[in-house]
Amino acid sequence: MAQSKTALVTGASKGIGAAIAKTLARDGFDIWLNYRSNDEQAQKVKAEIECLGRSCALLKFDVANYEETETILAPMLEKETPFAVINNAGFRKDALLIWMKQEEWKDVVSVTLDGYFNIVKTVLPLMLRARQGRIINVTSAAAHFGVAGQGNYSAAKAGLIGATRSLAVEVAKRNVLVNAVSPGYIDTEMLEGLPMAEIIKNIPLARAGKPQDVAELVSFLASDKAGYITGQTFQVNGGIGS
């Protein structure tokens, strides 16, 4: 029997991250589930993963904090190198730029971009040594289309696409593949406060997406079927911009 692979998924206690973690578990991965604060939700996802017959380690830390990231991951990495890393952690603090506070800018950018750096910087040396791996970054439609009030979120997610392309070139020769998945309007708490009745009129499929729509693509990119794909960004948005 082939040895099972492990996936580290950040921001995975709910929403898209939880769907990704459960789908990867369904497809044979053991899970390192990162979250920042919601113990109850994290335990719920862990139980669902274990019901699928896979193991799930809960890793509670703030990805934006390098010291926390390194401290929590170091003992895990001494035992095992994850095959896949999914950088999903992120959140919104919307405001028009003229009224945006500095901390609203910094907090959003830090979780997405510093979080990406902190996770990848910690895990990548071991992936390169193993000469295999997948890094999948969850970005957003806001990186591709202007959204009023989301200058911080758009900048962070667009930066993640650039980071994806650069890293893909750097590590390809070691068989570490790096891609991004860009969800559109997905039915999670991230849609709270948005005028969805109006937004849906501009979505060709005429509905919001489901977290599972994103999770299935992430699972494909983490599989052997995606062995010749790197440096790409895949939009999951119901046809917006087509």
Parse the chain into domains and list their residue ranges: 5-235
Active-site residue, 153 included? yes
Among candidates 223, 236, 74, 232, which has minimal Cα distance to 167?
Answer: 232
Q: Which of these, 164, 11, 163, lies nearest to 90 by C-alpha position?
A: 11
State how far the Cα of 10 lies from the Cα of 180, in Å rounded to an integer: 14
- The per-residue pLDDT for range 53-112, each reduced to its tens digit, is 999 999 999 999 999 999 999 999 999 999 999 999 988 888 999 999 999 999 999 999
Tokens matching residue 34 = 């990162």
Which of the residues 35, 66, 116, 153 is marked catalytic? Answer: 153
Task: List pLDDT tens digits, range 152-172.
Answer: 999 999 999 999 999 999 999
147 φ/ψ angles, rounded to the nearest 5 degrees: -130, 115
pTM for the model stands at: 0.94
In the predicted model, is pLDDT for residue 51 greater than 60? yes
CATH of domain 5-235: 3.40.50.720
